[in-house]
Chain A
Amino acid sequence: MSCKVRIPAPLRRYTGDAAELHLDAATVGDLVKTIEAGHPGFAAKVLDDKGQLRRFINIYVNQEDIRFAGGLGTPLKDGDEVSIIPAIAGGDTSPAAPVDSPAWGR
């Protein structure tokens, strides 16, 4: 079961500059572990210390956001395309705005 994993520029320094990986994994969580095994340090950029997906990281299987599918347990099948994309955010001049708690508007 081989999946294509697209790695965006901000995370490539943790994958030895690879923009694309082809890996076998049963779920998205397994996939992150598999990448971590080959590229130590990668998982920490994607998961928090509780092993949950970081707030500013989005993972898509094909066109579907895994937060609205099975999370890290989302199953993968042969030929799936996985995109790991750090969010793009910012704010106006409001120092009071908490940086770590964006309200997902949906």
Chain B
Amino acid sequence: MNDSAGLLLTAAQMREIIAHCRSERPNEACGLLAGRGGRVLRVYPARNAERSPQSFLIHPDDQLRAMSEMERDGLEFTAVYHSHPTSDAVPSHRDIQLATYPEALNLIVSLKREPVVCRAYRIVGGHQSEVPLAIEKEAPDVRSK
């Protein structure tokens, strides 16, 4: 479970996520984030099995691979990220309805306009609430944990 209330990423991780979201345009991009206590230590870009500008479904093979690795390495499933190519960084009705993993936060990247807007949410039991999203410059050292 997530110890802290928000989501903490490095600037490099954020750049990687945004670059992935841009590269999938016009379709939505999606992926998983693993870490500890809200701090992201690993980014897992995934294929959008729906290949759609309006929806995403993390390719189950990519999901299995990422989740197996998290389990093997003792990492938490910190968050799911996905892009909104043409709308705001706010969870859609479908995002809220389909949220399956209550322990994972949701990071939404809006590509609607420049600069892109990223916001994080907790979605549990059909309700969403925004949580703080912090970007830090230094890369965390996984080995020192």
Contacts and interface: CB of A to CB of B under 8 A. Distances in A.
B54 A89 contact: no
Contact of B28 (A9, A65, A92): A92
Contacts of B61: 63, 65
Interface size class of B (residues with CB under 8 A): 35 or more
Contacts of B10: none
B99 interface: yes
Interface in B24-73: 28, 30, 32, 47-61, 63-64, 67-68, 71
Nearest to A59: B60
Contacts of A8: 67, 101
Given A91-B92, A93-B87, A99-B98, A85 B55 contact: no
B48 A87 contact: no
* Residue from A56, A83, A91, A106 with most neighbouring chain B CB atoms (10 Å): A91
A105 interface: yes
B95 interface: yes
Interface string A49-73: 0000000101010010100000000
A97 B68 CA distance: 31
* Residue from B68, B77, B87, B100 with most neighbouring chain A CB atoms (10 Å): B100
B23 interface: no
Interface in B68-89: 68, 71, 77, 80, 82, 84-87
A102 B28 contact: no
Nearest to B96: A90
B94 A94 contact: yes
Contacts of A86: 100-101
B119 to A, nearest CB: 14
Contacts of A9: 77, 101-103
20 contacts: A9-B101, A9-B103, A58-B60, A83-B64, A88-B80, A88-B100, A90-B106, A91-B55, A91-B56, A91-B94, A91-B95, A92-B85, A92-B86, A92-B94, A94-B92, A97-B55, A102-B57, A104-B57, A105-B49, A105-B57
Interface of A: 6, 8-10, 56, 58, 60, 63, 65, 83, 85-95, 97, 99, 102-106
Interface of B: 28, 30, 32, 47-61, 63-64, 67-68, 71, 77, 80, 82, 84-87, 90-95, 97-103, 106
